[in-house]
Amino acid sequence: MNYFKTALLLAALTGFVLVAGYLLGGESGLVIALVAALGMNLFAYWNSDKMVLRMSNAHEVGPQNAPELYGIVQSLAERAGLPMPRVYIIDEEQPNAFATGRNPANAAVAATTGLLRHLSREEVAGVMAHELSHIRHRDTLIMTIAATLSGAIGMLASFGGLMGGGRDSDGRPLVNPIVAIAAMILAPLAAALVQMAISRGREYEADRMGAEISGQPLWLASALAKLHAGTQQIPNRAAEANPATAHMYIANPLSAGGLRSMFSTHPPMEERIARLEAMAGQMGGDYRAASRPTTNPWTTAVPQAPRRGPWG
């Protein structure tokens, strides 16, 4: 998805905030919506990385206590021409990772212990290259803005009944109650669809750029296949407790099924893998070098990593 389309979708989300505020609270609601959107975005701009990392129970690591992971990120950051991001590990068995930060100079990447435990070094490099691509394109800031705007719409819908829409001098409601009820239902749905469109487009682009950074599309393709299997069978406690962070992860960390599958912020994993394999074919890549797993690694017992950490 190019920047023009993303800008249009963000503008649409902003418009939804203002329209929802007006429909639910008249002119006063419009003002409240505008102030809420600006305030939430300003707060998110400065604090989103700290919030996401804290909600995920991530702890920062360095070259002393996670030398291999830190070395992978350092090498890829140099290759991508990026400042070295902070590196975090999340104590979750589900294999997953995300990037956060308002710009490349204030960025961080986080990987779960499950990802470090179950993926090869090459696959971890493919995942980290994907996350660095998000940082390079400032996707982390864009996705934070999208999430906060969607949150503002949800907040307005939740308090819509209390706002009442106001009344004119004759005591009649300024906003048709039926319209207000429809806005309470449809505005969050529309916002979710726009956020989904932004997230999915960004994931495809991060896959492509991540493969270019690592130089090996099949490393990421193989990693995505394992992540898909793992996220289907292993819950992510932190993400389940804070579903607003789900769009940050490289693979959807939430339990599959129902509306969560229908409105997933992530594109189909099969399509992502197919695109990477096609890219490898165009680059003349050796499919045997990083073939996709033929068995599900989560159907058999996996040895536990040492207590000192998976990369110690």
CA distance 183 to 194: 16
By the 10 Å C-beta count (0-12 exposed, 13-18 middle, 19+ buried), 284 is classed as exposed
Amino acid at 112: T
Which residues have C-beta within 8 Å of that of residue 310, sequence separation ≥ 6?
113, 116, 117
Which sequence positions are flagged as catalytic? Answer: 131
**Structural contact between residues 157 and 184, judged by C-beta atoms closer than 8 angstroms:** yes
- Going through 84-238 in order, the beta strands assigned E by DSSP cover 86-90, 97-101, 107-112
CA distance 243 to 241: 6
